[in-house]
Amino acid sequence: MSIAMTIAPHLPYLRRFARALTGTQAGGDAYVAACLEAIIADQDLFDTALEPRVALYKVLVGIWDTIDINHQGDGPATPFERNLDAIMPRARQAFLLTTVEDFSLPQAATILNSDEDGVRSLIDEAGREIAAQVSTNVLIIEDEAMIAMDLEALVTGLGHEVSGLARTHREAITAARDRRPGLVLADIQLADGSSGIDAVNEMLTEIDVPVIFITAYPERLLTGERPEPAFLITKPFQTDTVKAVISQALFFDTRAGSEPQAVANG
């Protein structure tokens, strides 16, 4: 198969990535065009030993690092674009590759000519910069004390504030009413035998807030019978996963009950 045929299925996604990097479709397409021209001029740039999509993104990132194309906005910036603009370029690349383009850490490391630790550091940097823009108070609904403490340390480490820790349905609703959170981290099975799903659903009748479910029982949410959560992390969780999803939820300002974007612990 020719390089052109290999690349073709991935071009729409490459354009999405380039648009997010630059803030405009015109600017993104200029980088994509430069990427394709570079491959035509020197096919060795496209590493056929890699997965085609990884190889293609790797060339574009290399172009980004060497060519300064004017990508000033050609219209009013969206909240997404304004948030991106405040993140340093390298951290922005790592954040977009792993959260929007759904590359694994090893794949992102290959694209960025880095290693997994380097990509983690960049994602953490992006998380801190996002927190500086959209720092918020977080309600943690979790009946296991040690997990609640871990989540509290993680949240504050990202620059957010914990507005409350709740172990039961009643405590969760009271905490949400006393100080409306900007983000909710919720378990499903609560201390009093009640459901975190019911607590969140009641909460959402009064406030509009992004919700991340962190649970050992994902099958209770991924039923296909009702709107599934935008953000779902399976216990036991990886700290890096939770950090990335918190940043993602706040960055895109996604609400619970929107289009499914389940996030499993890897």
Q: What is the C-alpha to C-alpha distance for residues 166 and 173, in angstroms, rounded to an integer? A: 9
pLDDT at 70 (0 to 100): 43
218 near 237, Cβ under 8 Å? no
Q: Which residues contact 203 (CB under 8 A, 6 or more apart)?
A: 172, 173, 176, 184, 209
pLDDT at 150 (0 to 100): 95
According to DSSP, the residues that pair with 184 across neighbouring strands are 139, 211
Hey, what are 63's tokens?
Answer: 């172009």
pLDDT at 117 (0 to 100): 95
Mean pLDDT by 10-residue block, N- to C-terminus, for the chain (266 residues)? 90 88 82 94 94 96 76 50 66 87 93 95 85 86 94 91 94 94 93 89 90 84 62 84 82 47 40
Q: Which of 61, 48, 173, 69 lies closest to 122 in space, CA to CA?
A: 61
What is the chain's Cα-based Rg? 20
73, with CB counted inside 10 A (0-12, 13-18, 19+), is: middle
DSSP string, the chain: --HHHHHGGGHHHHHHHHHHHHSSHHHHHHHHHHHHHHHHH-GGGS-TTS-HHHHHHHHHHHHHHH-------SSPPPHHHHHHHTS-HHHHHHHHHHHTS---HHHHHHHTT--HHHHHHHHHHHHHHHHHHH--EEEEE-S-HHHHHHHHHHHHHTT-EEEEEESSHHHHHHHHHHS--SEEEE-SB-TTS-BHHHHHHHHHTT----EEEEES-GGGT--SSSPPPSEEEESSPPHHHHHHHHHHHHHHTPPTTSS-------
Q: What is the C-alpha to C-alpha distance for residues 88 and 41, in angstroms, rounded to an integer? A: 30
Hey, what are 99's tokens?
Answer: 């959260």
The pLDDT tens digits of the residues spanning 164-190 come to 999 999 999 999 999 999 999 999 889
Other beta carbons less than 10 A from residue 51's beta carbon: 13
pLDDT at 104 (0 to 100): 93
Q: What is the C-alpha to C-alpha distance for residues 243 and 123, in angstroms, rounded to an integer? A: 9
Task: Report all structural domains of the chain as residue ranges with CATH numbers, in order of start.
Answer: 3-130 (1.20.140.160), 136-252 (3.40.50.2300)
